[in-house]
Amino acid sequence: MGKNASSDGFRGSSLMLLFFFFSGIWTGLYGLVALVAHRRNHNPVSWYILAMFFTPIVALILLLLTGKENNNSEEYKF
């Protein structure tokens, strides 16, 4: 009986560790979307919000498909 209880605890802590690991990667993807948007002269806040409505991977693909904006001003267009 004791062996099953300890293996259940190990399984639970392993799943929790995996959850936090993948949550960190997923959160990092949101930052990557904002960084790529900024480097392509798009509004990073708008793209961050777009990534929250869809997924960061879809937003990143859309961002890469839109191309680079050629505006010289520092202001972002919404």
- pLDDT, one tens digit per residue, over 18-69 is 999 999 999 999 999 999 999 999 999 999 999 999 999 999 999 999 878 7
**pTM score:** 0.70
* Rounded CA separation 15/62 (Å): 32
* Rounded CA separation 56/24 (Å): 13
